[in-house]
Amino acid sequence: MTTAVREPHIRRAQPRASGRRAPANVAASQRGTDLGVRLLNRGPWRKRDRTIVVGGCALGLFGLGICSWGGGGEVDLSDQLHWLVGGIVSVALSSLGLAYWLLSGLRTVRLETAGVFGAVTANRAPATVAAGSAGLVTAAGMVRYHRPECPLVAGKTVRELDAATIAAEGLRVCGACG
Amino acid sequence: MDVMTALRTHWDRIAAIAAVVVGLVSLLLGYLGVSDTEYVVKQIPYVISNGLFGIFMLGVGTALWLSADLRDEWRELRALRIAVNEHGMTVRADGRLDAEGVVGR
C-alpha cells in the first residue's frame, strides 16, 4: 500500500539580510537562511483543507444569520423552535469543518513525525534485546515502553520489561511504536 | 519583537483570542437579553443569535489556537527533516541530534 505524503506549499520568500543573531532558543537546524526561507510556509494544510474549513464556517455563519433573522420575526414558539434547530444545525456544520481542519493538520504532523523518525534512524541498528524477553524495552530516563525496533530506542542501552515491571514503574505505551 | 512582527508571526493566536473574546461577549449579551424578559418567545431569538453565535465563535477560537500549535509543531518537524536530509545531521547515543533538537525520549 502506498501512502501519499502531502507536501504543502512552501512559500519561496527571500531571506532577510538583517544580520541579527538567532536567539538561543532557536534550534541550530533553523538558523540557516535557507531553512529560514523554507519555514515561511502555510502550515500542514492543503488548499482543499482551507476550502473545506472556510466553506463550512461561511455556510454555518450564513445559516446562523438566516435562522437568527427568521427566528426573530416569529411570534409563535413552535415556529421559533424550528429556526432554533436550524441554527444548531448550522453551528454543528461549521464545527464539522473545524474538526476536519484540526484532524487534517494532525494527520500531516504525524506523517511528518514519521518522516523525521525515518530520516534520523535510517542508519541506526535497533536496540538489542535478550532472547526470551516480552519484547518490550525502555531506557534510563524514559517514561514509556517501546518495541526494540522503535526509532526512539534505536542505539540506546535498553532493559527488558515484563508486564509486572511496566505496571510497577507506571510506564506508558510509546506513541510511535505502541 | 515589535508589534507588527508579533502580529505577523502570531496572527492565529491573536485571532483566536479575539474570537474567544467576541464569543464570550456575545454570550454575555445573550444572557442579559434573556434575563431581561420573562417571555420565552422573546428569549428564543437571543438564544439563536447571541447564544449560538457565541458558541460558534468559541469553537473558531479554539480551532485557531490548536491549529497554531499544529503549525508550530509542523514547522519544527519540517526543519528537523530538512536538516537531517540535507545537512547530514547525525544522532548521538542519547537519542539527540548533534544540534539542539531533541528527537524524543
Least confident of A12-16, A83-87, A96-100, A112-116: A12-16
CA distance B39 to B36: 9
Q: pLDDT digit string (tens) for A127-136?
A: 555 554 567 8
Secondary structure letter of residue B51 according to DSSP? I
CB of B21 within 8 Å of any CB in chain A?
Answer: no
The reply to whether residue B81 touches residue A112, judged by beta carbons under 8 angstroms, is yes
Name the region of A170 (left: φ>0; alpha: ψ -120 to 50; beta: rest): left
Whether B56 shows a pLDDT value over 80: the answer reads yes
Mean pLDDT of chain B: 82
The predicted structure's pLDDT at residue A2: 42
The predicted structure's pLDDT at residue A172: 86
Cell of A50: 482551507
Interface test with A, best of B8, B77, B87, B94 (most A CBs within 10 A): B77
pTM: 0.63
CA distance B96 to A96: 39
Whether A85 shows a pLDDT value over 50: the answer reads yes
Q: Is A116 exposed, middle or buried (0-12, 13-18, 19+ CB in 10 A)?
A: buried
Task: Write out chain B residues lying below 8 Å of A87, CB-based.
Answer: 48, 52
Q: pLDDT digit string (tens) for A34-57?
A: 544 444 456 788 888 889 999 999
Q: How confident is the model at residue A25 (pLDDT cuts 50, 70, 90)?
A: very low
The predicted structure's pLDDT at residue B92: 56
Interface test with B, best of A120, A144, A152 (most B CBs within 10 A): A120
Mean pLDDT of chain A: 75
Phi, psi of B11, deg, nearest 5: -60, -35
Of B66, B95, B101, the CB nearest to A152: B95
Whether A60 shows a pLDDT value over 90: the answer reads yes
Domain definitions of chain A by residue range: 38-122, 136-173
Higher per-residue confidence, B17 vs B90: B17
The predicted structure's pLDDT at residue A4: 44
Q: How confident is the model at residue B31 (pLDDT cuts 50, 70, 90)?
A: very high
